[in-house]
Structure 1
Amino acid sequence: VEGEARVLIDPNTLSEDGTIALSYLDYSPDGNFVAYSLTKSGSDWQTFYVRNVDTGEDFEDKLEWVKFILPAWTGDSRGFFYGRYDAPTEGDEYEEQVRGMRLFYHEVGTPQAKDVLIYKRSEDAEIGFEPFVTDDGRYLVVRVWKGSARKYEIAIADLRGDDWTPEILFGGFEARYEFLGGKGDELYFLTDRDAPNMKLIAVDATNEEPAPREIVSETVNVIKKADYVGGQFLVEHLVDATSRLTLYGPDGGTPRAIELPALGTVRKIYGSANSTHFVYSFMSFTYPLTLYSCDLATGKSRVFKKSDVDIDPSSFVISQEFYESKDGTRVPLFIVHRKDIARDGTNPTYLHGYGGFSTTQTPSFSTSRLAWVEMGGVFALACLRGGGEYGRAWHEAGMLDKKQNTFDDFIAAGEHLIREGYTSTPKLAIGGGSNGGLLAAVCAIQRPDLFRASLIAVGVLDMLRFQKFTIGWAWTSDYGSAEIPEQFPALYAYSPLHNLVKGTHYPSLFITTGDHDDRVVPSHSFKFAAAAQEAQGGENPILIRIERDAGHGRGKPTSKVIDEIGDTWAFLLYELGEKGDGI
């Protein structure tokens, strides 16, 4: 990591208009090869290639119809495991349901047609796979998933033999398992099995019946992620949605806290079973993404690589406040603003949220949001039920027939900001993307009197038909399905498309989507925009912005990102300012 850097893959040269993007890459254990994937026009579909690191030249390998998966190299670096789907119907690549993943082994330098089928589950087309290989190359570990529910099966295969067919280690889709690594025949997992806030376990791969051994116990603070590095266990706990890093010994003893530079978020951890150090990335609202290298022996960190962003953190105030939701639940809220603003109710404020799929909302650095704050705006981030900030119970309190809790939490956040003098209804906007777009739409419809504007990005807006397109069926674990009679009432009660009331004075809406979005298909936004324009009883505008050759968000060229951010902030400057005078 201390050597001289050189360009291996330059995404800027992939296409003239920037719509072909580098999506994922993974290096072989010996460092000689890199498997990398490209996406076109923001689609989730990936095509994988293999490049020789020394020469910078690609082999003839081209692996198509890949989604939602990273490759897992074998220990000898001769090939890797990956999952793929059958080719979709021509002309329907961006809307057809995606089902039936199969797991293959690909040897470097051979055509995709010669790939070896390793694993499939013909009994259920909704099942997918995520492969891992232990650092010593001994075991293939396959996490078997079904939809978006974080309940998995684990299958393993001993790669020292001739038969690489995985056999079930943990079955039944009863718990969450995150593979951390292995030592010999012992495999390590992070799991919520009998531990809603997660714990670390070890299991002997040679036992016919798994007998998990607990390494790090569950605590009141949820474990967000962990890794097996240098024969030790690195664990990230969340304390009120901020990261704490602790290093545990081989048997889970002698915990040592790793000092972090500020209250914020550990984004990624990089290390291996044989490492003497590990690398982690850290960020916060006014702390740009920075890579740190930490010595395992001393626990001391040093800056390895820092983002080149000119920012004075002392110019801003970051606070975390707690408020009560409709049912009395205590909900955390991060608030960022310039030091010189007054809490007099006049500050243009953007409230952001997500609240779904156990996804955590923690402090992160964003130049676009920082620009909003530098202009005098307030940025607020709510940690809503449905997310994973406080473990399984927090998630389950905002899913299925309890989804209204998520919306109540977000509405209560807006009321808190007004009550505490940060802003007022004429100066308050909300927003979110994907599931967060659903959130922003629902709350604008349910409380049009509370918000001045809503930013609805790539939102799930038709809750009765979302499951019929691409990967939408996988979200029924969180939302439910209108095709199940007992789940229909809850969905219909909040579905944005079906709850617009003609003649209502709705907030100003800025709806954004991409014409190649094959995760949340753009018809959600098209239908909702048309229906909202028809229903609007006031003078506030209902606008839709459709980006060409773009998808759900990933893979956009910088020019398109800048254009969209510029249009978004211009909309809010106009709506929350003095009609064109800005803020």
Structure 2
Amino acid sequence: MSQRITRHLGSALVSNELNLLLFCHYLEVAALMPHRFTRRCAAVLLMVLVSQTQMLHAQPPSTPTSPTADSYHGVKVQDNYRWLEDWSDPKVKAWSEAQNAYARQTLDALPNVEAIRERVTEIMSDESISYGDLHFASGKYFAIKKQPPKEQSFLITFGDLQSPDQATVLFDPNVIDTKGTTSIDWYEPSPDGKLVAISISTGGSEVGNVSILDTSSGKQVFEVVPRVNTGTAGGDLAWTPSSDGFYYTHHPRPGERDESDLNFYQQLFFHKLGTDSATDRFELGKDFPRIAEIEVEVNHSTGLVLCNVQDGDGGQFSHFIRSPSGSWVKLSHFGDKLVQATFEPNGSVLAITRENAAKGRVIRLPDPVNEPNKQLPVIGENNDTVVTSFYRAPPSLLATQDRIYVTYQLGGPSEIRVFDHDGQQLAAPKQLPISSVGGLEHLTDNDVLFSNASYVQPTQWLRFDASNNKTIRTALSSQSKVGFSDVAVSREFATSKDGTQIPVNIIRPKSTTNAGPLVLYGYGGYGINLTPGFNAANKVLLEQGVTYVVANIRGGGEYGEQWHLDGNLTNKQNVFDDFHAAAKYLIEKGYTTSEQLAIMGGSNGGLLMGAMLTQHPDLAKCVVSSVGIYDMLRVELSPNGSFNIPEFGTVKDPKHFNALRAYSPFHNVRDGVEYPATIFFTGANDPRVDPMQSRKMTARMQAANPGGAPVLLRTSANSGHGGDTGLSQRIEESVDRNAFLFYHLGVESERHSPH
């Protein structure tokens, strides 16, 4: 038997002295074991040793340096990898392909990859049908339906909340694009329910043109309106009460501005159905900032139009209302701390303000057209934070005939509270503990539809009957084929460097009692709240004994705007200190050790991972960082960079520059440091974070310690920032991520079945 196995090992073993010694030792032990067991173990050992030998021999491609120096406020900063920024350069594409090949060679050689792929595919392809982005118009329901194994979600309409299985498919991108690279950005039904406007984009670009569909047939009618949505400023649309036209976000078209400005200067236009969009009427925005982002709403009773404008991604808003005569009245200026506005049924305006209320309070503008400065208090500030919504998110503030529904953030979890129009609190819907709510949609009278999910319970869609305070579960609710009854959820608090208490949400197998492998996830930026959410794919980790933890660090909005401000601009270091404190807490409390800890984040959370790598290289065993930002001195020069200035600052400001330079991951990689094993994920078509960020960080880390732990770069050719990535690509990314984690955390993956 030993001769037969030795022949199979071949040159792989003899080329690696350590593996050969291990194998010989194994043969000595195996001679004492039962024959069948010996054969089985030999096969396993063969697979492991060959895989490890392949990984040992894999080497990253060489990266030439081409030093470039910049001077900022008298400080000279050298950049050896500026050349990697130019994606049009064939040399950069060749380098990227070589990095992909190196990543594939390394990842494919990891142990148990096929078993992991089988399990990941089983869970992600067999996930239950789920529904999102629900709308109600003239007795019809509309929803985005996710139905694995279909690559992309699709648009449906139906007439009964308890019978979505009888829905009509209005638009299915899987039919027109079997590769899964075409996706729905968003949609908006007309008030009469007969038409739906839908933004469609390809390749993860999020550059969406709007088509009009007939809801009785699903056929496209009327003309296509181009460039309503982009991956930088987003996009929005609101129908007139008569359903014969709509207000929409207009991005410059080729020839209207310079090529570099086509994804900026968003304005508001009006389109009349049946006309050429080239003749559309300009409404508002000639004096808006270059990085303006617009949200528009029409009151179907009065025809009044409300326009909310954000100055980039920094949380500064201005608001306008269109009078019946067509003139626009300004309701607030950037910096006024009025952060959200929406119509009440009668045409008055409800707004969320942070003026003298850091956690938010609700006010009313009873006659916004004629008395825009008249504000009346409705709901005062309390200990919890009023959630704000933007970028086509479901409303966090919703008014019906006699009720006001307000979403509150509780430091991570969220809940809906109900008030009358005088601000008196009323009975609220029933909601899950340690959960998140969303998807608020007005139905009829005072009834609403909303979603509710937790870390261990999939999304429920619930109808709240306000007349009798009943919460009714609808057939839109998801049911997971993967059970989480063997998982416990707890919420604890770590103490950051300055004494701030940081929530850590711990999702752990009930059978785990000792320190073990753990994945810690964080974000910390843009005032975004990390709320509890159900992810069936997390079962791949949990069933192998891996604990999953989410940290609610500063930079988000979990405890209000001050929580956000304490983690942006020159305060960004607090974000990194919070995450480090969360990791140290988990180690000190015996949940894990540094050798069993993985950290993970994406986008702004990728910046967080870069900071952890450079500031605390011995904190974790491995790092997974997706679509991240790493060169903080160059980020504002990328296509989406200007939108980030309100959050990160600009190198033109000396104070901002000093802060950016101090934590910029790319500039703080040090030669000779033993960094943990790291994998960077990026999409070649990412409109939000330039993929050059991942390229440069990879090159710098590989050069810093050539013989150290692997640093991998995985670039997907047909995806962007991740939100509209097709199912098959998401599966493969999950396989690579889990195989990487399991190997470096010492998890011996075993096959499990759903329960």
Per the shorter chain, which TM-score range? over 0.9
Code of the residue aligned with 2:618 in structure 1: it is D
In structure 2, the residue matched to 1:142 is 307
In structure 1, the residue matched to 2:434 is 263
Q: Does 1:464 align with 2:633?
A: yes
1:122-147 Cα offsets, whole Å, 9 max, x none, are 36323332211123242100012211
- Does the 8 A contact of 1:185 with 1:206 survive in 2? no
In structure 2, the residue matched to 1:83 is 249
- Does the 8 A contact of 1:74 with 1:137 survive in 2? no
1:210 equivalent among 358, 370, 373 = 373
In structure 1, the residue matched to 2:195 is 33
In structure 2, the residue matched to 1:98 is 263
| SS of the residue 1:155 aligns to | strand
Matched ranges for 1:412-431 at <5 A: 412-431=581-600
In structure 2, the residue matched to 1:71 is 237
In structure 1, the residue matched to 2:529 is 360
2:473 equivalent among 289, 293, 303 = 303
Q: 1:337 to 1:221 in 2, by over 3 A?
A: same
In structure 1, the residue matched to 2:420 is 249
- Does the 8 A contact of 1:448 with 1:506 survive in 2? yes
In structure 2, the residue matched to 1:393 is 562
Q: 1:408 to 1:88 in 2, by over 3 A?
A: farther
Larger C-alpha radius of gyration, 1 or 2? Answer: 2
1:387-434 Cα offsets, whole Å, 9 max, x none, are 000001111111111100000000111111111111111110101110
Matched ranges for 1:23-422 at <5 A: 23-66=185-228, 67=230, 68-87=234-253, 98-122=263-287, 124-158=289-323, 160-161=324-325, 163=326, 165-203=327-365, 204-224=367-387, 225-271=396-442, 275-304=445-474, 305-343=476-514, 345=515, 347-422=516-591
Code of the residue aligned with 1:406 in structure 2: it is V
Q: Distance in 2 between matches of 1:123 and 1:143?
A: 12
Q: Does 1:571 align with 2:740?
A: yes
Give the TM-score normalised by the residue count of structure 1: 0.95
Q: Distance in 2 between matches of 1:150 and 1:313?
A: 37
Q: 1:234 to 1:123 in 2, by over 3 A?
A: closer
Q: 1:472 to 1:137 in 2, by over 3 A?
A: farther
Q: 1:56 to 1:433 in 2, by over 3 A?
A: same
- Does the 8 A contact of 1:350 with 1:431 survive in 2? yes
Q: 1:446 to 1:96 in 2, by over 3 A?
A: farther
1:154-177 Cα offsets, whole Å, 9 max, x none, are 11012x43x2x4221112432142
In structure 1, the gaps of 5 or more residues are none
| SS of the residue 1:359 aligns to | coil
Q: 1:14 to 1:89 in 2, by over 3 A?
A: farther
2:611 equivalent among 427, 442, 452 = 442
In structure 1, the residue matched to 2:80 is none
Q: Distance in 1 between matches of 2:617 and 2:487?
A: 31
Code of the residue aligned with 1:312 in structure 2: it is G
| SS of the residue 1:490 aligns to | helix
Question: Per-residue deviation at 1:459?
Answer: 0.3
1:87-112 Cα offsets, whole Å, 9 max, x none, are 3689x98x867321121111223332
1:14-48 Cα offsets, whole Å, 9 max, x none, are 31211011110110011000000111110121111
Q: 1:477 to 1:364 in 2, by over 3 A?
A: same
1:327-371 Cα offsets, whole Å, 9 max, x none, are 11111000001110122x2x1111000000100011111122232
- Does the 8 A contact of 1:285 with 1:366 survive in 2? yes
Code of the residue aligned with 1:315 in structure 2: it is D
Question: Per-residue deviation at 1:480?
Answer: 0.7
Matched ranges for 1:12-23 at <5 A: 12-23=174-185
Question: Per-residue deviation at 1:579?
Answer: 7.9
- Does the 8 A contact of 1:138 with 1:184 survive in 2? no
User: Once structures 1 and 2 are overlaid, which stretch shifts more, 281-290 or 79-88?
Assistant: 79-88
- Does the 8 A contact of 2:195 with 2:214 survive in 1? yes
| SS of the residue 1:240 aligns to | coil
RMSD between superposed Cα atoms in Å: 2.0
Provide the aligned length of Structure 1 versus Structure 2: 575
User: Once structures 1 and 2 are overlaid, which stretch shifts more, 288-297 or 381-390?
Assistant: 288-297
- Does the 8 A contact of 2:235 with 2:293 survive in 1? no
Q: Distance in 2 between matches of 1:416 and 1:582?
A: 32
Code of the residue aligned with 2:410 in structure 1: it is V
| SS of the residue 2:613 aligns to | helix
Give the TM-score normalised by the residue count of structure 2: 0.74
In structure 2, the residue matched to 1:510 is 679
Q: Distance in 2 between matches of 1:178 and 1:433?
A: 27
Question: Per-residue deviation at 1:53?
Answer: 0.5
| SS of the residue 1:7 aligns to | strand
Q: Distance in 1 between matches of 2:378 and 2:424?
A: 8
Q: 1:37 to 1:20 in 2, by over 3 A?
A: same
- Does the 8 A contact of 1:14 with 1:21 survive in 2? no
Q: 1:89 to 1:121 in 2, by over 3 A?
A: closer
Matched-pair identity in %: 30
In structure 2, the gaps of 5 or more residues are 1-158, 388-395
Code of the residue aligned with 1:286 in structure 2: it is V
- Does the 8 A contact of 1:215 with 1:252 survive in 2? yes
Q: Distance in 2 between matches of 1:421 and 1:167?
A: 59
Q: Distance in 1 between matches of 2:288 and 2:315?
A: 20
Q: 1:35 to 1:376 in 2, by over 3 A?
A: same
Question: Per-residue deviation at 1:436?
Answer: 0.4
1:57-110 Cα offsets, whole Å, 9 max, x none, are 1014212222212211111111111112113689x98x8673211211112233
Q: 1:254 to 1:100 in 2, by over 3 A?
A: closer
- Does the 8 A contact of 1:243 with 1:266 survive in 2? yes
Q: Distance in 2 between matches of 1:498 and 1:124?
A: 31
- Does the 8 A contact of 1:317 with 1:337 survive in 2? yes
Code of the residue aligned with 2:652 in structure 1: it is E
Q: Distance in 2 between matches of 1:322 and 1:482?
A: 35
1:165-215 Cα offsets, whole Å, 9 max, x none, are 422111243214222322334211122232211111110213344111111
Q: Going by fraction, where is helix more abundant, 1 or 2?
A: 2
Q: Distance in 2 between matches of 1:22 and 1:48?
A: 10
Q: Distance in 2 between matches of 1:510 and 1:89?
A: 41
User: Once structures 1 and 2 are overlaid, which stretch shifts more, 111-120 or 171-180?
Assistant: 171-180
Question: Per-residue deviation at 1:546?
Answer: 0.3
